[in-house]
């Protein structure tokens, strides 16, 4: 069946997800962490205590969403639309959470349909909410069902140089490392599958680009301390290919931080970003 607008408000069954320090390390190298970030990339370096990248929340959180209720779509034509995370405490090196998700929107963009969902995750060990996530999926070819177009608010970026900017170089095989954290969608590894979706070659996971962006925010604004990272919301605006260079630009705008990420050609690949920290 096509996308189902009547699924809005449907809540999923709670699911549990556990992780180890090794999972956190694999995620760290998947988003490009290296020898200058040993607190995230190693677990046994002298005088350095292992930490977990805040954006690891996209790997362990987001569970319990009743996706089947939202209808069906061609996975080769689906891309990530938006992603948000909110951390109420620092993610422990190992642990277990219970997550419950909800479909909060099914929107008609004409040529595409959009599914929006949220999830809240409780730390099983403490009984306290550890994180909240929100996401949208942009499903090309699934629009035209006459539904609500959804929110249209946009951030206006200042007409000046960014207050902070940091550039990371992705590797040609970046997606092959990142996929080991759980997203085995062949869109990111199989050239023939990528071609079915209209791409010249496999694209980088949107959440990998999101992780690179989160690294930039963490180091530029939180002095590399995961305990200061609170929330990050952004929209995926253009595909990234493994091997691209990513520049994260940040503006201190009144009482908030806004950001966007561009590739080596100046194309914006992550847009409409907002960030909070302590």
Residues linked to residue 68 through DSSP beta bridges, in sequence order: none
Phi-psi sector, 216: left (phi>0), alpha (psi -120 to 50), beta = alpha
Diameter over CA atoms, the chain: 60
Of 206, 211, 214, 273, the active-site residue reads: 206
Residue 155 contacts residue 258 (beta carbons within 8 Å): yes
Of 203, 214, 244, 271, the active-site residue reads: 203
Q: What strands lie across the sheet with 112-123, from one edge to the other?
A: 15-19, 95-108, 112-123, 129-140, 78-87, 229-236, 268-277, 256-262, 245-253, 164-169
Q: Tell me the CA distances in angstroms from 249 to 126, 158, 257, one per residue in order.
A: 36, 12, 10
Residue 140 contacts residue 78 (beta carbons within 8 Å): yes
Of 183, 197, 205, 273, the active-site residue reads: 183
Compute the distance between CA of residue 278 and CA of residue 223 in angstroms, rounded to an integer: 11
* 183 counts as catalytic: yes
Compute the distance between CA of residue 50 and CA of residue 43 in angstroms, rounded to an integer: 5
* 188 counts as catalytic: yes
CB burial of residue 54 (10 Å; 0-12, 13-18, 19+): buried
Residue 57 contacts residue 91 (beta carbons within 8 Å): yes
Handedness of CA 186, 192, 194, 200 (dihedral sign): positive
* 203 counts as catalytic: yes
* Residues annotated catalytic, as ranges: 183, 188, 203, 206
């Amino acid at each position: 069946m096509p996308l189902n607008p009547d699924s809005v408000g449907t809540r999923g069954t709670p699911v549990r997800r556990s992780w180890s320090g090794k999972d956190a390390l694999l995620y760290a190298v998947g988003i490009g962490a290296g020898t200058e970030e040993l607190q995230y990339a190693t677990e046994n370096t002298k005088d350095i205590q292992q930490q977990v990248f805040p954006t690891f929340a996209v790997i362990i959180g987001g569970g319990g969403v009743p996706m089947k209720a939202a209808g069906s779509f061609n996975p080769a034509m689906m891309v990530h639309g938006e992603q948000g995370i909110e951390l109420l405490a620092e993610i422990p090196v190992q642990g277990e959470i219970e997550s419950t998700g909800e479909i909060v929107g099914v929107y008609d963009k004409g040529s595409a349909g959009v599914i929006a969902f949220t999830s809240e995750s409780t730390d099983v060990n403490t009984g306290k909410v550890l994180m909240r996530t929100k996401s949208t999926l942009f499903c090309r070819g699934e629009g035209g069902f006459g539904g609500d177009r959804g929110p249209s608010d946009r951030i206006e970026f200042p007409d000046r140089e960014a207050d902070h900017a940091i550039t990371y170089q992705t590797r040609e095989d970046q997606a092959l490392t990142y996929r080991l954290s759980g997203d085995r969608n062949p869109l990111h590894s199989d050239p023939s599958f990528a071609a079915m979706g209209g791409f010249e070659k496999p694209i980088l996971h949107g959440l990998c680009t999101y992780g690179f962006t989160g690294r930039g925010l963490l180091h530029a604004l939180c002095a590399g301390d995961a305990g200061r990272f609170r929330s990050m919301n952004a929209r995926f605006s253009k595909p990234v290919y493994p091997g691209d260079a990513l520049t994260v630009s940040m503006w201190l705008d009144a009482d908030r931080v806004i950001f966007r990420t561009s590739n080596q050609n100046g194309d914006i690949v992550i847009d409409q970003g907002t960030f909070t920290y302590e």
